[in-house]
Amino acid sequence: MQKPTIFVTRRWPKETVEEMKKFFEVTINHDDRPLTQNEIADGFESHDALAPTVSDNIDQNIIKKGSGKIIANYGVGFSHIDLVACKENNVTVTNTPDVLTDATADLTILLMLMISRKAIEGAKEIETKSWMGWKPTHLVGSDLSGKTLGIIGMGRIGEAVAKRALFGFKMKIMFFNRSKKENLNFKAEQVKKITEIFEKSDFISLHCPGGNNNKNIINEKSLQLMKKSTFLINTARGELIEENSLCKALNNDQIAGAGLDVYNNEPDINPKLLKAKNVVLLPHLGSATSKARNAMGFKVIENLKSYFNSGKGIDIVNSTK
């Protein structure tokens, strides 16, 4: 029996590629460059399945042109995929939940520490040989211990961040979630209004999905509600933040700082962000551990195997009916 064909838009870790080839005929973008919309569309048209990443914009033109009926996303977020067009064209979409939770939560804490303890400024002084030695007032930052962490979106990653902050730094945890969270095995206060997070938190960390419901939840109005001592962290989706408003708030010392791992137009970074005060910028490293990236690939493979064996994926994010 002929193996199903899979079009993979970026280069994957070696172990996952070897595993995929046991079950499928695989075409991989070995150049590892961002493919054009037409290249992705042609790949989906000539293969049984498409395996994109969160950096690919899978629009209705790609979906309509595709001959395959499954998009197995290499990543958790799926706001880059037109789910309406998928439903209209009976295309199943799967993602890779669970496997990158710890890696992303660890990076969130890293950003909290980097921005609050002025780590980038300190590293630059060493690199440029401008450090003049220890003194009591030099690069004085803020503690995490005892501060209030406001989490927006208490899913798997939000919970993992909360536990690290609570048990590692004895932070007070507040969170906003659209649905009521039951049976949390740690102490946290769920607030009814997101404005409470903006007004009361020392650190705010975003862990909600993208899409129209959450687009620009951090905007000029919400930034004005924050304390001048607040640090904003985003390891979720770039579209959650209105970047020009954030830059204005940073440069006017309206908030204390921001640590970002995701952006609106990746890999292009808003020039205003690059020049903004009190900001740490990382290149979308949330899931960048060997364990997480391999596990993501294995999740995609399991979803594809399930789909071609039974007609159903495992981690389905859309309804095709």
- Express each pLDDT in 263-311 by its tens digit: 999 999 999 999 999 999 999 999 999 999 999 999 999 999 999 999 9
Q: For the whole model, what pTM was predicted?
A: 0.94
Residues 6+ apart with CB under 8 A from 178: none
At residue 144, does pLDDT exceed 80? yes
Q: What is the pLDDT of residue 157?
A: 97
* Claim to verify: residue 158 and residue 188 sit in the same structural domain: yes
In this prediction, residue 298 carries a pLDDT of: 98
**Residue 271 resides in a domain:** yes
Percent pLDDT > 90 in the chain is 95
In a domain? residue 65: yes
Q: Summarize the confidence of residues 147-162 as an average pLDDT.
A: 97
Options 237, 239, 242, 293, the catalytic residue: 237
Tell me if 168 is assigned to some domain: yes
For residue range 57-104, what is the model confidence (pLDDT) as tens digits? 999 999 999 998 999 999 999 999 999 999 999 999 999 999 999 999
CATH number for 237: 3.40.50.720
Rounded Cα distance, 142 and 109, in Å: 14
Q: What is the per-residue pLDDT for 1? A: 72
Segments forming the whole domain that contains residue 106: 101-281
Task: Provide the edge-to-edge strand list for the sheet that holds 148-152.
Answer: 189-190, 172-176, 148-152, 203-206, 231-234, 257-260, 279-281
User: What integer pLDDT is reported at residue 208 of this predicted model?
Assistant: 95
Are residues 48 and 126 located together in one domain of the fold? no
Q: Which residues contact 174 (CB under 8 A, 6 or more apart)?
A: 148, 149, 150, 151, 188, 189, 190, 191, 196, 197, 200, 201
| pLDDT mean across residues, the chain | 96
SS3 314: coil
Q: Is residue 315 part of a domain?
A: no
Task: Work out the average pLDDT over 173-198.
Answer: 96
Does 107 share its domain with 122?
Answer: yes
207: annotated active-site residue: no
Same domain? 113 vs 246: yes
Domain count for the chain: 2
Average pLDDT over residues 44-64: 97
Same domain, 114 and 243: yes
The reply to whether 272 falls in a domain is yes
Residue 318 placed within a domain: no
Catalytic residue among 39, 121, 196, 284: 284
58-62: list long-range contacts, CB under 8 Å, 24+ apart.
58/82, 59/85, 60/84, 60/85, 61/37, 62/37
C-alpha span between 54 and 78 (Å, rounded): 7
Write the burial class of residue 121 (CB in 10 Å: 0-12 exposed, 13-18 middle, 19+ buried).
middle
Q: What is the predicted pLDDT for the residue at 158?
A: 98
Structural domain contains residue 37: yes
**pLDDT score for 145:** 97
Residues 108, 66 share a domain = no
- The whole-number average pLDDT for the span 181-197 is 96
DSSP state letter for 48: S
pLDDT higher than 90, residue 320: no
Residues sharing a CB contact under 8 Å with residue 173, sequence separation 6 or more, in sequence order: 148, 149, 151, 162, 165, 166, 186, 187, 188, 189
What is the average pLDDT across 207-222? 94
The pLDDT of residue 140 is above 90 = yes
Instruction: Tell me, yes or no, if 293 is annotated catalytic.
Output: no
**Nearest CA-CA partner of 13 in 299, 306, 319:** 299
Which residue spans within the chain are E strands per DSSP?
A: 5-8, 25-28, 49-51, 70-72, 92-94, 148-152, 172-176, 189-190, 203-206, 231-234, 257-260, 279-281
Task: Please tell me whether residues 148 and 81 are part of one structural domain.
Answer: no
Are 89 and 185 in a shared domain? no
pLDDT at 211: 86
> Does one domain contain both 65 and 128?
no
Amino acid at 286: G
Whether residue 226 sits in one domain with residue 251: yes
Residue 296 lies inside a defined structural domain of this protein: yes
For 107, 164, 173, 292, the CA distances from 167, given in Å and listed in that order, are 16, 6, 11, 23
- pLDDT surpassing 70 at residue 321: no
Q: What is the mean pLDDT of residues 119-140?
A: 97
Tell me what pLDDT residue 300 has.
98
pLDDT-derived band at 240 (thresholds 50, 70, 90) equals: very high
> Do 150 and 254 have their domain in common?
yes
In terms of domains, do 93 and 159 share one? Answer: no
